[in-house]
Amino acid sequence: MNLHDRGDRVLPATRVLALVIVPFLLAAFVICYLMPSRTLELFAWGIKPPLTAMLLASVYLGGAFFFVRVAMAKRWSEIALGFPPVALFASLLGVTTVVHWDRFTHGHISFIAWATLYFTAPVFVVLIATLNSRASRAPASAGEPRLHPVFRIVLGATGATELLVATGLFVLPSQVGGFWPWAVTPLTARTLAAVYALGVANVLIAVDARASRVRLQLEVQVVMLVLIGIAVLVRRGDFTAGPAAAYGVAALVAAELAVIVGGLIGFQPRAKTVVDAPPPHFGAPPMK
């Protein structure tokens, strides 16, 4: 192992956390994506319409893909950028669970798993990310490829917009949910808010832009967006805003997917005389 690898290592605790979370996400994906009409009997709560369940499941499989890569990663810098979005997503769903406690199927094994995951994951994700960030001191790479400026601008704007939508759905679920192209309740609106809050990943990608740090996050979004696009077309009957709503949403998903794929293949090499700033770290700097 060279000096760079030793200074940019993934702690065993980080790998353990990833391996613990993956089975939860895969089980939830199977139920919500493959059996979205049976969430009342199989999941933590009955999700209507099935399109919302499939949207949530798309995030679950993207999350499983991310954590499998975390368990296999050789360098912390390759995975670090994914932890803040995960922490935000889990925190919002934890708060949503408390606010809408009476809407869940208490006593069901799926609810126990749901509550356990969203009441503990935010704490452990932040804790592990902080510890791993403090333990990793990778040297800056000169001349590392960066995301093309055009893609940075588009992704940054997309992420900021998604965060704005997430804020509206979470703070004013009934009012903002009333403009949604398919039927949502306050609970499903806040669940969608957690999904859209993952737009923070695009903001982080736009700010950082280094290929080694953003590539995995772009790949995770490809997984999610492909599944969401399929769900929109399969469940187009769930839309209530007119027959064109499904195709309009599908077009937006396809456009974002095109931007992300373009970003993946459009990294630009940097001049070797440029030295990047060291990557950001969770928590306070270590004592010297």
Burial class (CB in 10 A: 0-12, 13-18, 19+), 103: middle
The pLDDT of 88-100, averaged and rounded, is: 98
Structure tokens at 53: 């369940």
Q: Is residue 286 part of a domain?
A: no
Beta strand ranges found along 69-111 (DSSP E):
none
Q: Is residue 173 part of a domain?
A: yes
Q: Is residue 282 part of a domain?
A: no
Q: CA 45 → CA 53, 93, 109, 111, 135, distances in Å?
A: 10, 13, 11, 7, 40
pLDDT at 103: 95
CB atoms within 10 A of CB 101: 10
- Judged against a pLDDT cut of 80, whether residue 7 lies above it is answered with no
Q: What is the count of structural domains for the chain?
A: 1
**Chain centre to alpha carbon of residue 228:** 13
DSSP-based three-state secondary structure for 146: strand
- Judged against a pLDDT cut of 70, whether residue 108 lies above it is answered with yes
Angle between the N-to-C axes of helices 109-135 and 83-99, in degrees from 0 to 180, rounded to the nearest 10 = 150
Nearest-angstrom CA–CA distance, 246 and 232: 6
What DSSP state is assigned to residue 242? -
Give tens-digit pLDDT for 118-152.
999 999 999 999 999 988 766 656 678 999 999 99
pLDDT at 275: 45
pLDDT at 266: 80
The pLDDT of 160-166, averaged and rounded, is: 97
CB atoms within 10 A of CB 87: 20
Structural domain of 169: 3-265
- Judged against a pLDDT cut of 50, whether residue 274 lies above it is answered with no
pLDDT at 23: 96
Question: Cis omega (within 30 of 0) on the bond before 49?
Answer: yes
φ, ψ dihedrals at 285, nearest 5°: -65, 155
pLDDT class of 270 with cuts at 50, 70, 90: low
- Judged against a pLDDT cut of 80, whether residue 5 lies above it is answered with no
Residue given tokens 């950028």 in the structure block = 81
Q: Is residue 47 part of a domain?
A: yes
pLDDT class of 1 with cuts at 50, 70, 90: very low
pLDDT at 166: 97
Q: Is residue 150 part of a domain?
A: yes
Q: CA 115 → CA 71, 148, 210, distances in Å?
A: 24, 40, 36
pTM: 0.89
pLDDT at 140: 57
pLDDT at 268: 73
Q: Is residue 278 part of a domain?
A: no
- Judged against a pLDDT cut of 90, whether residue 2 lies above it is answered with no
Q: Is residue 280 part of a domain?
A: no
Q: Is residue 273 part of a domain?
A: no
The pLDDT of 22-49, averaged and rounded, is: 97
